[in-house]
Chains A and B, each alone.
Chain A
Amino acid sequence: MRVSDTFPVRDGLFAIVEGGTPLLITGRCNDCARLHFPQQSTCPYCAATTVTQELLDGEASLWTWTSVLREPPGYRGPVPFGFGVVELEAGIRIVTRLTESDPRQLTAGMPMRLVVDDLHTDDEGRVVQTYAFAPVTDMGVPPDTDPPGADGEAG
């Protein structure tokens, strides 16, 4: 029996393409052209029902950030964890988990990249994953960032 050992915390947040690169699943309204996330069937700005899925590459810059030190309600993952907003060039700001939990290591406008981050292991032994953003250094994404699950399905 082949069991997928990773599991997205919610379907439709991110997709993994060949080579393991994650992409963010957004929706673009066919009427007003604005982007939203997560993708809905109805545009949250103009209520149009024609929305096209748009996969965004994860290049972003940091817009604001903090660090969550104690487990918020319903959360079973490690603390502390970074938390912030990143701005994507496509024209959308995303609320996201950050892989860097030390606020002193973060600065406004620093380049960030989409990664897939492990949250916790569920009752069936699967690693529950979510989207997150990691600082991009000269060395690339820091080595302590978990690589996306090898056989992770599209999110």
Chain B
Amino acid sequence: MSGGAGSYEVAVAGTGLHAFGRFEGTSVTDLGAAAVRAALLDAELAHSGFDAAFCASVYSGVAAAHKVLGSLGMTGMPIYTVEAGCASGGAALSLAVESIRSGRHDTVLVFGMEKMSAGIIRSSFFEPWREEAGLAATPAYFALRARRLMETSNVTREHLAEVSVKNHDNGVRNPDAMYREAVTREQVLASTMVCDPLTLFMLCSPNEGAAALVLRRASGAGGEIRLTAAEVRSHLPGSVLGEATPLAGLVDDSIPAPTTLAADAAYEAAGVGPGDLDVVECQDTDSARELLSYEELRLCPPGEAAAWIDARHTHLGGPLPVNPSGGLLSKGEPLGASALGQVVELTLQLRGAAGPRQVDGARVALGHTVGRGANAGVTILTR
């Protein structure tokens, strides 16, 4: 983190998750409370045993965090709700980490939850005229990026399909994922066309779920999971296909993506490079977004994403598994919970507790989200 020099280190003391999916009759408050309870139990923390709470949510309305903690009788401490689109969890995490680093707090709770309906999300982000003109079709923006990636590299529809195959294969091994069935490339390519070249199985679904973490000032004990970086960066202007979804941009392909800005800051803060990573959870809102993330996170050299998929480099068992949890393609994307859900997964991986999807010997892990605003969040954990 930027800020206070000589600061305290941060450890993950506990994690909790409410499965991602659709849960009729369960309120967003209930979802959040379930994840919070699980994280406190995992951290063996007493009732209200945290100094502050940071919550991520986008569509949950006023004082969403207070409702969750109020339902558990855990109030009195400062409670903050943070909204930053798909990167909301990364933003809440960044603030929480900084509050420990600075010495202000010893133990904090970070949680995120969301309850979203199926289909294209109507967002207050776009002005009404833009909706009326058909210029507010969210998956279409993903498709424009996917097409551009195909035009500027050797990425093909088959590569896009293989990302979906990989993540669904991983999702079969994750009981907390929404989709737990393997798919073939042929099935992905033959699934309903949403926005060419993206088919239904190449796009994640907005859904429901919650995730929570207890963070604590690190004790220095062996085996601790350290949260060594939690960086958020916003977009620079000028990129027409950036997540800020402007109506125009410059003729300039050298503008760094917010993901790259956040990743570079995170690598510097953690003192590691992309070559040190053992496992990654990255934003796979659509298949092309995952491939772009490989390059924007500097996991692979520019233009090499297709070759990586061909070589099964990021499949489980490969040199750098990406989205062993099944990714958003399998889990769905409850906005406020998605980034923290990644950290829950990565903590399991570093503990060696990820069961059939364990990445053997994982010691350095990276989580990444990016979305509307645009904000990108990159988190690095080490053991």
Residues of A in contact with B (beta carbons under 8 Å apart): 9-10, 26, 34-38, 44-45, 63-69, 72-77, 81, 83-85, 87, 91-97, 103, 108, 119, 128, 130
- A-facing residues in B196-252 (Cβ within 8 Å): 196-198, 237-238, 240-241, 245-251
Q: Is B134 an interface residue (CB 8 A)?
A: yes
Chain B residues near A67 (CB-CB < 8 A): 195-196
- Contact residue among A73, A84, A93, A130 (Cβ-Cβ distance under 8 Å from B248): A93
Please report the C-alpha to C-alpha distance between residue A67 and residue B139 in the assembled complex, in whole angstroms: 10
Q: Is B151 an interface residue (CB 8 A)?
A: yes
Q: Is B365 an interface residue (CB 8 A)?
A: no
B131 touches A75 (CB 8 A): yes
Q: Which 7 A-B pairs have the closest CB atoms?
A: A74-B131, A72-B137, A66-B143, A37-B248, A10-B129, A73-B122, A93-B240
Q: Is B132 an interface residue (CB 8 A)?
A: yes
Chain A residues near B151 (CB-CB < 8 A): 64, 108
Q: Is B72 an interface residue (CB 8 A)?
A: no
* Given the contacts A34-B250, A74-B128, A44 and B196 also touching, CB distance less than 8 Å: no
Q: Is B182 an interface residue (CB 8 A)?
A: no
Query: A117 CB to closest chain B CB, in angstroms?
Result: 9
State how many residues of chain B have any CB contact under 8 Å with chain A: 39
- A-facing residues in B101-148 (Cβ within 8 Å): 120, 122-123, 126, 128-138, 140, 143-145, 147-148
Please report the C-alpha to C-alpha distance between residue A85 and residue B146 in the assembled complex, in whole angstroms: 13
Q: Is B74 an interface residue (CB 8 A)?
A: no
Chain A residues near B136 (CB-CB < 8 A): 72-75
- Contact residue among B122, B128, B140, B148 (Cβ-Cβ distance under 8 Å from A83): B140
Please report the C-alpha to C-alpha distance between residue A68 and residue B245 in the assembled complex, in whole angstroms: 16
8 sample A-B contacts, Cβ–Cβ < 8 Å, listed by A number: A9-B133, A10-B133, A34-B250, A65-B147, A73-B123, A73-B136, A92-B248, A95-B247
B143 touches A95 (CB 8 A): no
Say whether chain A's binding surface is mostly helix, strand, loop, or mixed.
Answer: strand
Please report the C-alpha to C-alpha distance between residue A45 and residue B122 in the assembled complex, in whole angstroms: 28
Q: Is B193 an interface residue (CB 8 A)?
A: yes
Chain A residues near B132 (CB-CB < 8 A): 9, 74-76, 119, 128
B131 touches A66 (CB 8 A): no
* Given the contacts A72-B140, A83-B144, A119 and B133 also touching, CB distance less than 8 Å: yes
Q: A34-B238, A69-B193, A83-B195 are in contact. List 19 more A-B contacts (CB 8 A).
A: A9-B129, A26-B248, A34-B250, A35-B248, A66-B144, A66-B147, A66-B196, A69-B194, A72-B137, A72-B140, A73-B136, A74-B128, A74-B131, A75-B133, A83-B137, A83-B143, A94-B247, A119-B133, A130-B133
- Contact residue among A76, A91, A119 (Cβ-Cβ distance under 8 Å from B250): A91
- A-facing residues in B241-272 (Cβ within 8 Å): 241, 245-251
Please report the C-alpha to C-alpha distance between residue A101 and residue B122 in the assembled complex, in whole angstroms: 23
A93 touches B140 (CB 8 A): no
A85 touches B137 (CB 8 A): no
* Given the contacts A92-B250, A93-B248, A72 and B148 also touching, CB distance less than 8 Å: no
